[in-house]
């Protein structure tokens, strides 16, 4: 990963292209001999468009009206002002400069999140226009949502499915009777728990079940078996809901 330093802050980019006199730096808006691009993410989760590495939607800068057909950018390549995350087709993985896959480096994700969080923090725009202040707050909100989503193995799986136009709505996934019977037994255990210790033991068992489901989910995504991933995430949903119930009872 390469680091780009400029008058605004420090931001990371993931590749350096061959020198080009015609390239305009998307951060500073000045000519650059080194081609770089900055990643962004989709703020419309769970209503995402299909993501493509080669096809981008044109969008217009709210300030100078420059039309761009490149990858989504944080700042306009012409006037250098912060851009609207509502007008661009963002992707969470692209935003944090990590591989678009289920298995991720969470330490790298956290590091990149903090860099971007610092770059887009509203305090940095306190002396800017009202429009820029609003946009920085919007981007900060997007960063927090994207980070929370990718750090959570269940939400991350749902997000990847959604990128492919899939979901785990009850009407789209049919669970077998044996699994539903198993869930009923788990729920009975939770309801019959008569002590904090009993709830804690059940929670530990549920955590193990979820860990195994996420391991299977990793294999399903690596094999591009999305139908299998849907089933596994549907099962995981039951157990994540169960954990929420245990936390409520344990309060």
How confident is the prediction for the chain on average, in pLDDT?
A: 78
End-to-end CA distance of the chain: 44
Burial (0-12, 13-18, 19+ Cβ within 10 Å), 192: exposed
Average pLDDT over residues 158-180: 90
Backbone angle region of 104, left / alpha / beta, with phi > 0 → left and psi within -120 to 50 → alpha: beta
87 pLDDT above the threshold of 70: no
pLDDT band at residue 180 under the 50/70/90 scheme: very high
Lowest mean pLDDT among 29-38, 46-55, 226-235: 29-38
Q: What number of residues does the chain have?
A: 251
Rounded CA gap, 194 and 15, in Å?
A: 57
The proportion of the chain whose per-residue pLDDT surpasses 90, expressed as a percent, equals 53
Q: What is the pLDDT of residue 216?
A: 99
- pLDDT reading at 9 higher than 90: no
Q: How confident is the model at residue 70 (pLDDT cuts 50, 70, 90)?
A: low
User: What does the pLDDT average to over 23-47?
Assistant: 32
- Can you give the pLDDT at residue 57? 62
> Which tokens sit at 22?
């015609």
pTM listed for this prediction: 0.73
Least confident of 13-22, 134-143, 216-225: 13-22
Six-digit token string for 199: 């709830």
């Amino acid at each position: 990963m390469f680091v780009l330093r400029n008058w605004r802050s420090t931001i990371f980019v993931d590749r350096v292209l061959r020198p080009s006199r015609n390239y305009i730096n998307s951060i500073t808006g000045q000519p650059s001999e080194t081609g770089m691009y900055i990643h962004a993410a989709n703020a419309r989760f769970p209503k995402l468009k299909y993501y493509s590495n080669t096809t981008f939607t044109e969008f217009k800068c709210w300030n100078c009206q420059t039309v761009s057909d490149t990858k989504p950018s944080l700042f306009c390549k012409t006037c250098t002002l912060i851009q609207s995350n509502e007008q661009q087709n963002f992707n969470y993985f692209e935003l944090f400069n990590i591989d678009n896959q289920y298995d991720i480096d969470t330490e790298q994700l956290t590091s990149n999140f903090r860099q971007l969080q610092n770059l887009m923090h509203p305090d940095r725009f306190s002396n800017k226009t009202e429009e820029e202040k609003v946009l920085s707050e919007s981007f900060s909100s997007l960063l927090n949502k994207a980070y929370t989503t990718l750090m959570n193995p269940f939400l991350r799986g749902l997000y990847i499915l959604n990128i492919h136009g899939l979901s785990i709505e009850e009407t789209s996934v049919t669970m077998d009777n044996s699994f539903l019977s198993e869930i009923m037994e788990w729920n009975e255990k939770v309801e019959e728990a008569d002590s904090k210790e009993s709830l804690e033991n059940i929670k530990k068992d549920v955590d193990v079940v979820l860990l195994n489901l996420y391991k299977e989910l990793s294999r399903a995504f690596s094999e591009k078996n999305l139908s299998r991933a849907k089933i596994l995430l549907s099962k995981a949903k039951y157990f994540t809901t169960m954990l929420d119930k245990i936390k409520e009872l344990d309060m």
